Structures are given as structure tokens and as C-alpha cells.
């Protein structure tokens, strides 16, 4: 909760409009990747504090694939879904940024399907000097037995795996998965000029 509050404060400093209540657009819309992936997230994260509490681990599941492409957006042109921008920092428990950390994402599409033959909705980004990372994607749909979630792995610059976890989407609060690891629930703090729901999340990992 603390993280979400200061993240919201950072958003508010950047744009008053972002502090207004969020009305999510209809899901199923066709979206186009935004072109300004560097903002506003990277600027916002500069003001974010750090709790020092390690991000919960979560199961990898059966659908991870190595070799995902590096990119700032997982959205392909015309892809249906609610666009979201996940951003934050990768830091260790002393709150020191891990520049060069690799943050690898994989998820289902807006109908709850994984691409297990290619890299649709799979990709990784690299944290910059202050540990900031940004990834644009769509809100995944749940599939039988699972609340809506996005899988994540975080790797050190030397390739060591630091964390395997999952992020849970708004609306999954009542699920057993979120009750077991409430820090993995993301919250939308606003909507940017590209119609993307803003979802701040810091990864706090062991050194």
C-alpha cells in the first residue's frame, strides 16, 4: 500500500489529471503501441521511495520460454485489449538500484491464451541507470483456475536469476493467489494521454 501511495503522489506531481478517478475503457478494444515509452514512467520513478521489503516469489508455471525479445512494448498493432503501462524500479533490499537488470514478462492475451509457439505477449526490458524499467502491454484475461496475472522473471546483469513471480491485475483481490501474496496485486493509479492504465510496481530483490 505504501508503495502505491507514493507512486500515486509521484504521478500527481507529473499530471494533475492522473489523480482523477480512473474509468477503464472497454476491454476488447483494438490498441496501437504508444511511441513515447520513455515517459512518463521513468520520470515518475525518480521520486519513488523504497520499502526494502522483498517482492514475494510466485510459481513460474509451465509456459515460460527463454529467448524473449527485448522491447518496450508487448503490444502488436491491432492487438485487442486494455493497454497498460507497468513501470517502476528494480532495487535490492537496501534500495540500491540494479542497473542493467533484465525484467522478462510473459502473459496471456485478452482471451486468456498463451502463445507457446512464438513470442506474442512475451518480451523483456532492461532497467536503466537508476533501476527504472517500463513495459507496455495489455491486460491479460484469466484462464480456468487462475486469476488474471502477468508472469515476471528478474535477472541480474550477469544473468543470475533474482526473482520469479507474478503480478495480479485489478479485480483479482478475492483470489487465493492474491490473498497469499497481496504485494503482487497491481493497482491502476491513472490513465496517460495514450489511454494506458498506469500500473506502478517496484521489484525488490536480494542482492
- Judged by the rule CB under 5 A, the positions of this chain that interact with Fe ion are 61
Distance CA 142, CA 18 (A): 27
Contact between 88 and 45 (Cβ < 8 Å): yes
Joined together, the cell numbers standing for residue 91 give: 532495487
The nearest distance, CB 132 to Fe ion, in angstroms, is 26
The nearest distance, CB 103 to Fe ion, in angstroms, is 17
Contact between 131 and 98 (Cβ < 8 Å): yes
Specify the residue, 168 or 203, whose C-beta has the smaller distance to Fe ion: 168
Q: Are strands 83-92 and 197-200 parallel, antiparallel or unpaired?
A: parallel
Specify the residue, 61 or 80, whose C-beta has the smaller distance to Fe ion: 61
| Strands in 111-189 per DSSP E | 122-126, 132-138, 149-155, 161-168
The nearest distance, CB 126 to Fe ion, in angstroms, is 23
Specify the residue, 61 or 195, whose C-beta has the smaller distance to Fe ion: 61
The nearest distance, CB 152 to Fe ion, in angstroms, is 11
Specify the residue, 37 or 124, whose C-beta has the smaller distance to Fe ion: 124
Q: What are phi and psi of 33, to 5 degrees?
A: -55, 135
Joined together, the cell numbers standing for residue 86 give: 507497468
Amino acid at each position: 500500500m505504501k508503495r502505491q501511495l507514493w507512486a500515486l503522489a509521484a504521478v500527481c506531481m507529473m499530471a494533475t489529471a492522473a489523480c482523477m478517478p480512473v474509468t477503464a475503457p472497454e476491454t476488447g478494444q483494438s490498441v496501437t503501441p504508444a511511441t513515447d515509452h520513455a515517459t512518463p514512467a521513468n520520470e515518475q520513478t525518480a521520486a519513488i521511495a523504497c520499502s526494502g521489503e522483498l517482492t514475494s516469489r510466485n510459481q513460474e508455471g509451465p509456459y515460460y520460454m527463454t529467448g524473449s525479445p527485448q522491447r518496450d512494448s508487448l503490444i502488436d498493432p491491432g492487438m485487442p485489449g486494455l493497454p497498460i503501462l507497468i513501470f517502476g524500479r528494480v532495487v535490492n533490499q537496501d534500495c540500491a538500484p540494479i542497473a542493467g537488470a533484465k525484467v522478462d514478462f510473459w502473459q496471456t492475451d485478452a482471451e486468456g491464451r498463451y502463445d507457446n509457439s512464438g513470442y506474442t505477449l512475451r518480451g523483456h526490458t532492461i532497467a536503466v541507470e537508476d533501476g527504472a524499467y517500463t513495459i507496455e502491454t495489455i491486460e491479460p484475461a484469466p484462464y480456468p483456475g487462475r486469476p488474471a496475472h502477468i508472469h515476471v522473471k528478474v535477472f541480474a546483469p550477469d544473468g543470475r536469476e533474482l526473482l520469479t513471480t507474478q503480478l495480479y491485475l485489478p479485480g483479482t483481490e478475492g483470489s487465493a493467489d492474491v490473498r497469499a501474496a497481496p504485494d503482487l496485486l497491481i493497482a491502476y493509479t491513472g490513465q496517460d494521454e495514450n489511454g494506458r492504465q498506469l500500473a506502478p510496481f517496484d521489484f525488490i530483490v536480494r542482492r
